Amino acid sequence: MLRFLSPNGSRSQSPAHQGRSTSRRAHPKPSIRIVHHVPSYGSIFLEAPDPVEETVKAGREVNGELEIIVPDGWGPKRCKAIRVGIKSLAKLDMGPERGWEEDKIFHREVELHGVEEGIILHEGTQRFDFVLVIPDVLAPHDWHPNGRVSHFLTAEIEGLSSEPTSSGWFSPSTSRPSSPKLPPNPTFFDNDPTPPSAPISTSMKITWQEPRTPRAGPSSPSAVEWVKGTLKAQRTIMLLYNPDPNGGVTSLDVEKGGDAPGLGPFNMRWAAEVWTVCALLLTRVTLPNPSPATTIFFVRTALTQTTSIISPRDDPDTTPPLISTRQFTISARGICPPAHIRPSKETASIWRGPVAGGQSDGSSLIETTGRLPDDAIGRPSTLPNVSTPIRVTHTLLTELWFSVYGEDQHGNPLPQPGQGRLRVLKIEKPVVVPSCAFIPEVLNLPTYEAVSTTGIPAHQDTPCSLCRRPLSDQLCRDCPRTTVPHPRHDNDPKLVGNARGVCPLCEVRTLPTRTAEWKSCACGMDLEDMQERMRNTALNDEPSVNPVDLKIEEERGRRR
């Protein structure tokens, strides 16, 4: 696994440098760079699988661009093949006996294979379009204290090797010896079944080469020096399923009613205009006719998150899953009396009827508002039909603490009249919680066509003071036009001051993610921040809180 990733892509790694550490003061030798370019900082939005459709669809196409940069002065190089792929890894804690296990649950790649003389890579930059098809039911990215699913875009430049190279880059690793024979699991995907003879020219093709001044060099391809070994690169991507069948924003407005002794009829309502991880939730408890002998002390709403893990090595029909549950308090009102103390007339209450010594009368309406946990700990729900080793379900829970004068917690009369024993009414409602990325600011982003800069008045089309490009030429036109608009990333790194080739001034001017009013998810993070956190999660053995999360939480007035 590569340890160093550039903010917008990936860095290549040659066999000569694999496994070595470099001092900060050391200047690494120049090498061929490999960079992935994908829309939305690697966030891939997927439609929810059809729960009633038996046949699996062809899948979702992931379009991107592979950039290969040969340093100046190297001259042309040639290689046998160029490959781009996607791999999905599951790392699960299977308990003290088995420990942590890591398995590849999906792998697919496309290849551009050279003729006998190989593929010529010229000095400078060349780009290749690629299309990867992923299944509609592939596991989304996910992380928990005891499990993680990660996705990576991979790239290889295969050169000439004097000895066989290991294929362990895609091989599963584990903390225990693997079984000689693993039970078949048809819900997990293996390599692309497309035969090697199938045409791949439509999946990967060269689209652009940086013009260079011709240099004196070899007169025939056979005289061009081969790339030594195999160069590899990878970058993280995020797979996100939208439960809304139309691909839009999900809202929540559900309720549950009933009748409880001492409270009479009740109605619980949970509502959120934008319903996601970290959403703002309103809870409304309506009691049309509570008993005059009733006292209501405390109301709390929580989210119960249940995680079910089953290893891809196990047979799901015969192996029980590992189940863990976490509960997050969303909102509360009132003061909850200690369970071991009998409430008195002086105990603080929200509503106290006249028989219980209070002055409340008639109906009771109690509202609380609070946010769900952010996605550092609160995870999206797993949609039906999605094939994943980690399944997550959610339930909203509202609890109401009350007592009835002269009755114990079971509704039986007390030996002597007095304040009643404490009771709890618990009402649950299963819900599907979407990812925090599915907010209007993301789903309603304009396409390139909607942000076309044609027709800008001449007096407004002023050039940038840093890169000198006019406003009409600051947006990238090389990436697919259906993606989120973003600034050009082909500027001279020396001119703009960063290896990404992105002008920082144009980035602020053209990207809504750089303004204080716009964020890419309900947690208040940019897609760039989410990608950085995914990178850190993939590099660390255990999920951890990123400093970006703490900063955002502080801005929102919350403390962990």
The CATH code of the domain that includes 39 is 2.60.40.640
Q: DSSP label at 139?
A: P
400: three-class secondary structure by DSSP: strand
Bigger pLDDT: 518 vs 110: 110
Bigger pLDDT: 329 vs 160: 329
Bigger pLDDT: 535 vs 486: 486
Q: Which of 406, 431, 456 is the last residue of a domain?
A: 431
Place of tokens 């042309």: 76
Nearest-angstrom CA–CA distance, 433 and 364: 29
Q: Which of these ranges, 347-351, 407-411, 529-533, has the smallest mean pLDDT?
A: 529-533
Kindly report the pTM of this predicted structure: 0.71
Nearest-angstrom CA–CA distance, 263 and 366: 13
Instruction: Please indicate, yes or no, if residue 481 is contained in any of the structural domains.
Output: no
Q: What's the pLDDT band for 283 if we cut at 50, 70, 90? A: very high
Q: How many CB atoms lie within 10 A of CB 405?
A: 23
On whether both 219 and 266 belong to a single domain, the answer is no
Q: What's the pLDDT band for 173 if we cut at 50, 70, 90? A: very low
pLDDT tens digit sequence for 6-60? 333 343 443 333 333 333 444 456 789 998 888 777 888 888 887 666 555 667 8
**Phi and psi dihedrals of 165, rounded to 5?**
-100, 150
On whether both 279 and 236 belong to a single domain, the answer is no
Q: Does 379 score more than 90 pLDDT?
A: yes
Instruction: Please indicate, yes or no, if residue 8 is contained in any of the structural domains.
Output: yes
pLDDT tens digit sequence for 337-348? 887 778 888 888
Nearest-angstrom CA–CA distance, 525 and 519: 6
Our measurement of the distance from residue 254's CA atom to the centroid of its chain's CA atoms, rounded to an integer in Å, reads: 26
On whether both 381 and 232 belong to a single domain, the answer is no
Q: How many CB atoms lie within 10 A of CB 426?
A: 8
Nearest-angstrom CA–CA distance, 560 and 553: 8
CATH number of domain containing 278: 2.60.40
Among 4, 6, 2, 3, smallest CA distance to 502 is for 6
Instruction: Please indicate, yes or no, if residue 488 is contained in any of the structural domains.
Output: no
Instruction: Please indicate, yes or no, if residue 19 is contained in any of the structural domains.
Output: yes
Q: What is the mean pLDDT of residues 336-359?
A: 87
Length of the chain: 560
pLDDT at 309: 95
Q: Does 497 score more than 60 pLDDT?
A: yes
DSSP string, 469-522: -BGGG-B--SS-TTS---B---S-HHHHTSTT---HHHHHHH-GGGSTT--SST
Q: What's the pLDDT band for 165 if we cut at 50, 70, 90? A: very low
On whether both 330 and 217 belong to a single domain, the answer is no
pLDDT tens digit sequence for 295-310? 999 999 999 999 999 9
Could you tell me if 256 and 430 are in contact, meaning their C-beta atoms sit under 8 angstroms apart? no
Instruction: Please indicate, yes or no, if residue 299 is contained in any of the structural domains.
Output: yes
Instruction: Please indicate, yes or no, if residue 493 is contained in any of the structural domains.
Output: no
| Strand partners of residue 217 | none
**Phi and psi dihedrals of 415, rounded to 5?**
-55, -35
**Phi and psi dihedrals of 214, rounded to 5?**
-60, 140
| Composition of the chain by helix, strand, coil, percent to 5 | 10, 35, 55
**Phi and psi dihedrals of 222, rounded to 5?**
-65, -20
Tokens coding 394: 């959610």
Our measurement of the distance from residue 54's CA atom to the centroid of its chain's CA atoms, rounded to an integer in Å, reads: 27
Tokens coding 268: 């619980």
Q: Which of 431, 461, 476 is the last residue of a domain?
A: 431
On whether both 229 and 264 belong to a single domain, the answer is no
User: Which residues have CB under 8 Å from 71's CB, separation 6+?
Assistant: 30, 31, 32, 33, 123
Instruction: Please indicate, yes or no, if residue 408 is contained in any of the structural domains.
Output: yes
Across 61-70, 180-189, 421-430, 467-476, the highest mean pLDDT is recorded for 421-430
Q: Which of these ranges, 224-228, 243-247, 272-276, 499-503, has the smallest mean pLDDT?
A: 499-503
Could you tell me if 379 and 140 are in contact, meaning their C-beta atoms sit under 8 angstroms apart? no
Could you tell me if 510 and 486 are in contact, meaning their C-beta atoms sit under 8 angstroms apart? yes
Q: Does 294 score more than 80 pLDDT?
A: yes
On whether both 359 and 218 belong to a single domain, the answer is no
Q: DSSP label at 75?
A: -
Cα–Cα separations (whole angstroms), residue 324 to 95, 159, 433: 12, 47, 18
On whether both 334 and 232 belong to a single domain, the answer is no
Bigger pLDDT: 506 vs 326: 326
User: Which residues have CB under 8 Å from 266's CB, separation 6+?
Assistant: 257, 258, 259, 260, 285, 286, 287, 400, 425, 427
Query: Which percentage of the chain shows pLDDT scores above 90?
Result: 34
Instruction: Please indicate, yes or no, if residue 381 is contained in any of the structural domains.
Output: yes
Q: DSSP label at 355?
A: G
Q: What amino acid is encoded at 388 in this protein?
A: T
On whether both 210 and 269 belong to a single domain, the answer is no
Q: Which of 431, 459, 488 is the last residue of a domain?
A: 431
**Phi and psi dihedrals of 289, rounded to 5?**
-150, 70
On whether both 138 and 119 belong to a single domain, the answer is yes
| Residue range(s) defining the domain that contains residue 403 | 252-431
On whether both 420 and 350 belong to a single domain, the answer is yes
Split into its structural domains, the chain has a count of: 2
Bigger pLDDT: 90 vs 186: 90
Q: What is the mean pLDDT of residues 386-405?
A: 95
Q: Which of these ranges, 297-301, 317-321, 548-552, has the smallest mean pLDDT?
A: 548-552
pLDDT at 311: 95
On whether both 102 and 27 belong to a single domain, the answer is yes
| Strand partners of residue 234 | 154
pLDDT at 485: 60
Tokens coding 231: 């160069």
On whether both 201 and 120 belong to a single domain, the answer is yes
